[in-house]
């Protein structure tokens, strides 16, 4: 639980819905998937404002609402890093996309979807052995997400998301996202500073501070 003035975020690790995102329709399809609830107080009465479900460690684009929830939840201590990773790996979305993974397949997937590269044979051998020796998949994924390689990652999709989330406080529209990713990727290789300059010069950015 985290409290700030008249707002409280309550974590529910035993929540069983497989839905994701903000104010999705809950179901009972994913035991112990976890969720968080946001309440605000007005006139002495607490009212639920949001039902929050994180996404998964999947090969898809991030969402501004989910990113903001996770950032705030971690910052306020409402949840721990490993709790979020556990929810991701146990979500119906992740399991549907990646059923019955062997330890080696799981390791290869984490290299591909977290570090955005293929693991070498030696790396996969080492990680497969570590998992067989007792390293949990949650800790494995957590270690990758906290690694220097991940934190320094500059993939076009991640860069585009961060630019719009941090500068314009929203998701990029489909056309904006596609255009930015194309410009940041080979063969264009447009410097990220060019995109930053364009956003900073836009009327939308200026309007955020009027």
Burial 80-91 (b: 16+ CB within 10 A, else e): eeebbbbbbbbb
Please give the average per-residue pLDDT across 105-114, as a whole number.
91
The answer on pLDDT for 194 being more than 60 is yes
Q: What mean pLDDT is predicted for residues 90-101?
A: 83
Confidence of residue 122 (pLDDT cuts 50, 70, 90): very high
Helix axes 192-200, 174-184, angle to 10 degrees: 140
**Average pLDDT over the chain, rounded to whole?**
81
What counts of helices (H) and strands (E) characterise the chain? 11, 5
pLDDT tens-digit readout, 43-93:
888 887 766 655 435 556 667 777 777 778 778 877 788 888 888 888 877
Token pair 């009972």 in the structure block, residue: 28
Q: Where are the domains of the chain?
A: 2-78, 100-150, 156-207
For residues 83-104, average pLDDT = 85
Q: Per residue in 18-51, pLDDT tens? A: 555 556 667 666 555 566 667 778 888 888 776 6
- Tell me the mean pLDDT in the region 113-129: 92
The region, left, alpha or beta by phi > 0 then psi within -120 to 50, assigned to residue 95 is alpha
């Amino acid at each position: 639980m985290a409290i700030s003035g008249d707002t409280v975020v309550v974590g529910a690790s035993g929540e069983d819905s497989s839905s994701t995102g903000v104010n999705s329709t809950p179901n009972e399809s994913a035991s112990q998937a976890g969720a968080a609830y946001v309440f605000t107080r007005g006139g002495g009465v607490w009212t639920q404002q949001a039902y929050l479900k994180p996404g998964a460690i999947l090969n898809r684009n991030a969402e501004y609402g989910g990113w903001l929830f996770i950032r705030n939840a971690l910052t306020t201590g409402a949840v721990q890093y490993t709790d979020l990773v556990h929810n991701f790996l146990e979500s119906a979305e992740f399991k549907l996309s990646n059923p019955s993974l062997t330890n080696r397949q799981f390791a290869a997937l984490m290299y591909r979807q977290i570090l955005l590269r293929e693991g070498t044979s030696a790396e996969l051998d080492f990680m497969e052995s570590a998992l067989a020796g007792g390293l949990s998949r949650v800790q494995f994924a957590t270690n990758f997400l906290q690694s220097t390689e991940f934190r320094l990652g500059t993939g076009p999709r991640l860069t585009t998301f961060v630019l719009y989330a941090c500068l314009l406080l929203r998701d990029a529209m489909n056309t904006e996202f596609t255009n930015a990713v194309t410009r940041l990727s080979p063969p264009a290789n447009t410097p990220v500073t060019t995109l930053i300059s364009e956003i900073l010069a836009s009327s939308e950015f200026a309007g955020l501070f009027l």
